[in-house]
Structure formats: C-alpha cells, structure tokens
A and B are shown apart, each in its own frame.
Chain A
Amino acid sequence: MSQTAVIHEQQAVPQPKQHGKPGGFLAQANIFTGLIGGVVTAGVTYFIGDKLVPWGTQNADFSQVGLNALVFCTFVAWVIGFMVGIGAFAGPIRWALGHDLTHDDAEYMAGKGQGRMKYWKYTTDHKVVGIQYLVMALVLFGFGGFFAMLIRTELGVTWREVFDPNFYNSLIGTHGIVMIIAMIIVVAGPLGNFIMPLMIGARDMAFPRLNALSFWLLFAAVPPLVLNLVLGGMRDGWTAYQPLGTQAPIGMIGYQVCIITFAFSTGIAGVNLITTIVTMRARGMTWARTPIFIIGTLAAAIMGLIWFPMFQYAQLLAASDKVIGTSFYIPQNGGSVWLYENLFWLLGHPEVYVIVVPATAGILELMVVFLRKPLFSYKMAVAGFAGVVGISAVVWVHHMYMTGFAPQAGYPFMLSTELISIPFGFLVLVMLGTMWRGKAWNRLPMMIVYAVIFDKIIGGITGVYLSDVPVDQYMHGSMFVVAHFHYMLMGAGLFGAMAVIVYWFPKMTGRMFDERIGKIGFWTAFLAFQVTFLSMFVAGLQGMPRRVLQFDNAFEISNWISTIGAYFIGIGMLIFLYAVITSWRNGKVAPSNPWGSKTLEWQTQTPVPLENFPVLPVVTSDPYGYGVPDPYLKVEEQLDKDDNETVGAR
C-alpha cells in the first residue's frame, strides 16, 4: 500500500483579469448578429466584387468563371461573416490580445444564467449544443421530407412534367444531400454531444469551444445548399458527378461551399468526440466497462474524421474547376471524371456507416435496458464495430463497378464488400443474443427496434444482390438501388435514430415522450414506408432508371403506389413530430431515471445541472449487470463465469 504523505500546498493560480462584465462581446452576440454579419459581409463582398474587380476582362470566355468566382466568394463571405457575427472568433482574438477568457467568461459562454437565450448563442455547454443539433436535424428532415414529397408528386403524375427538369434534378440532389447531412448529425450530434459525456461521467466535452464551433459551422453551411434551388439549381444528384456539375448553374456552388464547410464541422466534431471518449471517461471506466453506444460513436467519429476530407477535396477541386478554370475533372483539358468519382466515394461509402453505426449502437444500448438483460457478447459487438471501421476503407469501388475505370477492380472489391457482411453479422448476433429468452418491456423505443431489425432483413438481402458485380450490372443506377438504400438509411438509420431519441428524450428535455401519439405516427410511417419502397423495388426490377421524371408506362402502377405510400409516410412523420413538439413543451415531467437504466447519464438528476454531476462518479463494473443467473446453466459453467466476469455491482 502506497500512501501519499506529502500534501501539496494550495497555490493561487494566476487568473486573467476580468474586463468588464462577463462575456464581453459575447454578451451581445447571438444568432441574429450572426445572420446580420453573414448577410452584410456577403452583400458587401458581392458588391465590391461585382463593381471593383474586373472579373473576366482578360478573356471573353472568362465571364462565366468570373460569375462563379463571385458567387463562391459571396458564399464563403457569408460563412465567415456569420461566424464572426455570432462571436466564434471572440475567444481566439482575446486570447491573441492577451486578455484570455476568465472563469466567469467561460461560465457565461457555457450558458450560465442566460435562460432560453443560450440556445440562440455560441454556447459551449455540451447539453445546449446537443439540443441545437437535435433541432437542426429536425429542421433538415423537414426540408428533406418536403422535397421527397415533391419528387414523389412528380413521379406519381405520370402524364406530364410537373416541374421543370432542371428544378426536378436539383430537387433530387438537394433531397439527397439534405437527408444525408441530417442523418449524419441526427445521432452523433444530439446524443454524441448531450448524452455521451454524461454516459462516460464527464463534466463536459474535451473542447467545449470546438463543440460550439462545429455546430455553428454546420448551421452556416446549410443556407448556401438550400439556396441553390433559387439560384438555378444544382442539376445533379447528391453525388454531383463531374463534368455535369461543371455545366450546372451557380446553384452548384452553394452545394460545394456547403460540403466544404460541413466537412470542417464534422472534422472538428470528430476530433472532439474522439478526444472526449478516449481521455475523459470516469475513473474506473475501463474500455471493457465502456457502454457500447460510446464505442459506436467512437467508431463513427473515426470514420468521419478519416474520410470526410476526401469529400472536401473532391468539392474543392470541383469548385476550383468552376471558379478559377482548372480542369481536374474536365477530360477535354486532360482531367478525369474517374478522379472525382473515386474521391467522392472514398467518403461516400464510409459515410453510410457513419450514419448506420451510431444508430445501431444506440439500439443495442436501449435493448439492454428494455430487456433487462446484459448485452450479449460485448466483445463481439466491439469486434463488429472495429471490423466495419477497418473494412469500410476498402469498399468504395462497389459504387463504381460500372464506371469502367478498372474492370479488374470488380474482383477485389466484390470480395471486400461481401466480407463486410461478417462484422455486420456480428452485430446481428449481438442483437439476437440479447433478445434470446428475454421478455422485453413493451415501450415505443423497443418496438421501434423490432421494426428496425425487420427493415435490416430486407435491406440486407437486397444488399447481397447488389454487392455482386454481375447482378449490379443490371441493378446499378436503377430504382432498385434507391429502394435498397432507403431501407438502410431510412428503415434502419432514421427509424433507429427515432428509437434512440425517444429513449433519451426524458433526459434531454426533462419531459416524458407522448408514446400514444408517437406510436400512431411511427406505425403509420413504418407501414407506409413498406408500401412505398417495396413497390419501388418492383419498378427497379422492371428496369426503371433512377433520377428520371418521366418513364415507360410499364412502371406507372408501382410509381402510383409508391407515391401514395410516400404521402402516408409524410403524414406519419408529421404526427410523430407533433408528438415530439407537444411532449417537449408540456409533456409529463420526467423522473431522473424513468427506464431504470444503469448507465451513468440516468444517475444524475433531470434537468442535468451545468456541471453534470455533483461528484464525479467512479465506475466499478460495466452497466449491463441485469438479469438473474441462468437457471439452465450447469453448476460448473456458472463457476467458470464467476471467474471471468464481475457481474454488475452497481
């Protein structure tokens, strides 16, 4: 036994001097000053650029490039102006001037004593950022869902073009990328920020100011994207393949600036999540005692951090083609369209896992609670996530089987793509094992889990077809693919996200979720989802290409069915949204641990105090110590077990 005999004398840490009221400039800055800053900066940039700089005077051909450059600068100015206006740079500037933030300033920035206003400000508290992310994701789903309804309307009206083709193509792309962004943030944003630090017993994220930065960069990234619809559109799918993108109107630049900014946001968020998880877990929370949701979040953050830069480079080069006339992707001048496709899919595929992995991990976490059983084979779940992260790096070419850029590449990439089903299989076994012989508590989140697994079965079997090069030779670029990825992204990803949000809703909002209305909404959406996308499989099998606005008569019936289904998804989702809003505003006040869960976030009070825990918790076992010893187990097996595992003592 070692003893600490020397007691260090308390030394006064030199504190920066307080300059005026806490907060300084930050007390004035909020989203409105941000908007003003952004719009004014953008306006001034446009005006000066338009009037003073002789864009394209050297060369008559240069005029379009000139306009593109002007629009690009304007959008970038919007982002910078917005960030300045909201006070993102106040901290660094004061630090550079030698007036670092005082403790009071830091607390002010964390939202102390600001009431509701803190949600509209550059607030560093992870709980505030979590709520901001949640609301942002809901808003994006609103946009994306509305666009989906417009797309389906066009496809349901089979006798004429409702929309101008340019607008329709932009609509498809905007729907796609808005939904992708929303799905990327919907779990890792609200829950990764709000719940994760609580779950690991930390007082905050590792870098609170980066936390605010990542959210507001995301916020600033969205307007250029959505504005594309009024700036001539982006005309391309969410993949923004070149050189079609080079032909597109200036709306395309909105997409590019959005992605470039969003990639900064995810990079910063990724660093923050990873550092927090690796360094800030409570005393005693060894890796083996870390809840599986944390592992899943870590896996997703790692993939995002590594692969998002690829997407960013792809768009930087594309913007440079448009703005300064380079020709990375223009074959006539020596560029290559395959360069774009490779860069794009290097992120494009891992991104699907960035979406699905946190949702899956969250589902595992809540299954444990609703089944009151330990997670089945924690190690296998970890191996599953690790395997997905590893193999995700080498599967991107399965999106490019038909590009012809390397016909021989079909062989190795078919191999890797089919191998990744093994780690995913691990996760399926973990789910089945956790369900095995357990009686689950019939509450909405758990029921959604059953629905999600059902969707995964359909997404899985159709994915098996698509991973095969010869079959993909038929399916690629058809509605079959669209139906398949909606099963994964929406059926497994979005519904999974709904399950985990309902589960953590009481902790985040302090209110119980209205499950009666939520149930009606969810099951309506779920059934309508099956109708919509099962019939979309049929259209795809019959040979309907995707991203079309008119088609052969042969596909009419399945498209009518799909459109009707889609409207019902819309209705179901609106009902669900209604449940979210009403429960948030005046739901029953939630106790601190309504589900009787063992993870740390439920052990602190609701609403969560600014410092999260009065006393930092010390962890002595993993949070899965539920259930009774298995009566079927033979005595000696029980003994082996006791040696190997400490069953939860908490």
Chain B
Amino acid sequence: MSIETPVDQPESPTNRPDSTHRMKEWFSRDYVRKIIAIFIVLTIIIIPIAWLVIHFLELSGGPASSIMEELETTIFVFTLVSAPLMAITAAVLVYSLFGWGSIKSEEPPMQENPAIRTNAVAVIGWTVATSLLAAFLVIWGLVELATITADSYGSTPSSQQPNATKPIDVNVTGQQWVWTFEYPDQQKIQSNVLVVPINTPIYFNVTSKDVIHSFWVVEMGVKIDANPGAVTNTGFTANKLGTFNIRCAELCGLHHAYMETNVQVVTQDQFDSWVREQGGKRTV
C-alpha cells in the first residue's frame, strides 16, 4: 500500500484524532444519520406490536389470573427490549436497499464498495449489546418463573408465604378425549367442568389414563402435560368471574380437537352450593 505516511511516528498520539472527534465525525456522516432516523422510526413501529399481541391474547376474555397478567407484562417488556435490535437490523436492510441503492443497481458493482473487513468497535459493541440483552431476558425470565411457580403452588408471589386461604386440590385426569375433575377434599365429587371459586388458590394434580394430553387453562395462562404413569402439578388463583376455556394442547389421537371444556369461576357462595348440588360438602 503506497500511502504517504510519516513512517517514523505511526503510533504517535498527536497524529491520531482523539476518539470523541472520530465519533463526532462518524455521526456527522450522512448515511449514519439517515440510518439512525430509520432506526428510531422502526423502533417506534415495532413496539406497538406488543399491544397488538396482548390485544389478541385478551380477545377470549382474559386475563383471569395473576399468572396471565404476569405473562402479558413479560411479552410487553420483551418486545420493548428486543425492538431496538430488530429495528437496527431492519434499518440497515432498508438503507441498503434504498440508501446505498441496491434496489436499482442492475449492473454488477465494480470494485467501488469499501473493503471493510472488520471493525473492532462494531464487533465489541454488538457483542456487548446482545449479551446484555440476553442477560436481561434471562434474569427477567428466571425471576418471573420463580414468581409464577410460587403463584401456581398457592403462595403469595412476593413474600413466598402460603396464601391465607387454603388451596383447593383438584385431581385432573385426561383420557381420550375428556377431562375429568375430582375434588378430593369435597368428598371426591367429580365433574367434567371445572368449577372454582374466585380468589382461592387451586392446586392441580394432573395425570392421564392413556396417552399424553396437555391441560391448558387458556385465560389463566396455565399449562401442564397430563402424562400416563406420572402426576404433574400446577395451579392458579382466578381473579375474574366468568367462564373460560380449557383445551388439550398435545396431540392425543383422533378427537384431540374436541377435547375441550370450560372453567367456571364463581363466587365462594356459588361454589359451595355447586358442591352441595353435586353431593359433596365443603370440608374446610
């Protein structure tokens, strides 16, 4: 490379513009400014996706439990933090097509594109940024998982203290292609519809008689597989009155599609009278 240089002082600090100056120079470049502009616009476009997602989630009547609420918050936060990364990718894409003019270049580019082989700032900056993002997602996820686990096992999430109200146990059995709910503390009454009182923790022991099913209480944001030969557990505390969906979320044979039922969230009084109607009585 024959570029005229003061060979005797290549590392001389006085020769090198300081980094703030170089950064300023970089930010003053036309394409950098335009990409940043596109980036900001795209970020602003991507973030509302979170609301859209949550809107669709709520179409069927949820959220009906704190777990589902937690989950919606997570979707919102995750969209918020990953939007910049998505947006910068899209911004470069857009600028490459329209700014640098790929879309109109019918001829093979001659050798005029810059031979950028690497760039330490970009490499390190990107690695740090994506790692921080991943770390944030992990930490958020771990904390949240602990919270909803506590929640489904009937504790008050923040304090991990057992909830004041004693949980109601329900034994859930999946069988091709019906769900059966048994209330062991209510003299083992059985039902094909899940009826639960509001604001009371419900604790499920889930199993299956034949193949794998998956017990999905849609608007509660709760799901666990029903496995033959094993009992799995989950739970929720409903905080909204109404009728919500229970579906099977694991292909379980011919009529998997029809393996659905409802959960009715009722008041404590209604629940007690329902239990009596079914021939049981509340023992707690």
Contact = CB atoms under 8 A, between A and B. Distances in A.
A630 B116 contact: yes
Contacts of B140: 468
A411 B142 CA distance: 6
A418 B223 contact: no
Nearest to B148: A470
Contacts of B131: 422
Nearest to B59: A542
A467 B42 CA distance: 24
Contacts, number: 323
A645 B117 contact: yes
A376 B118 contact: yes
A477 B75 contact: no
Contacts of B46: 461
Interface string B200-232: 000000100011101010110111110111101
- For chain A, what secondary structure do more than half of its interface residues adopt (helix, strand, loop), or is it mixed? helix
B249 A435 contact: no
A169 B109 CA distance: 51
Contacts of B56: 537-538, 541-542
B103 to A, nearest CB: 6
B228 to A, nearest CB: 5
Contact of A244 (B93, B102, B211, B247): B211
Contact of B111 (A405, A432, A626, A645): A626
A439 B227 contact: no
Contacts of A595: 108
Contacts of A554: 59-60
Interface string A433-457: 1011111111000100010011011
B8 interface: no
B108 A596 contact: yes
Interface in A540-554: 541-543, 545-552, 554
Q: Which of B16, B85, B88 has the most CB of A within 10 A?
A: B85
Contact of A404 (B126, B232, B258): B232
B115 A630 contact: yes
A338 B231 CA distance: 12
A625 B46 CA distance: 37
A166 B254 contact: yes
A456 B228 CA distance: 38
Contacts of B277: none
A426 interface: yes
Interface of B: 1, 3, 5, 10-11, 15-17, 29, 31, 46, 49, 53, 56-57, 59-60, 67-68, 70-71, 74-75, 78-79, 82-83, 85-86, 88-90, 92-93, 96-97, 100-119, 122-123, 126-127, 130-131, 133-134, 137-138, 140-142, 144-145, 148-149, 206, 210-212, 214, 216, 218-219, 221-225, 227-230, 232-234, 245, 247-258
Given A474-B57, A626-B113, 14 more contacts: A244-B251, A337-B227, A372-B109, A380-B123, A402-B224, A429-B122, A437-B100, A470-B141, A473-B223, A474-B68, A543-B60, A627-B114, A635-B3, A641-B117
23 contacts: A169-B256, A243-B228, A337-B229, A338-B230, A414-B138, A421-B134, A437-B100, A437-B114, A438-B100, A450-B93, A456-B89, A457-B89, A468-B78, A474-B71, A542-B56, A543-B219, A545-B247, A545-B256, A626-B111, A626-B115, A628-B112, A634-B16, A636-B5
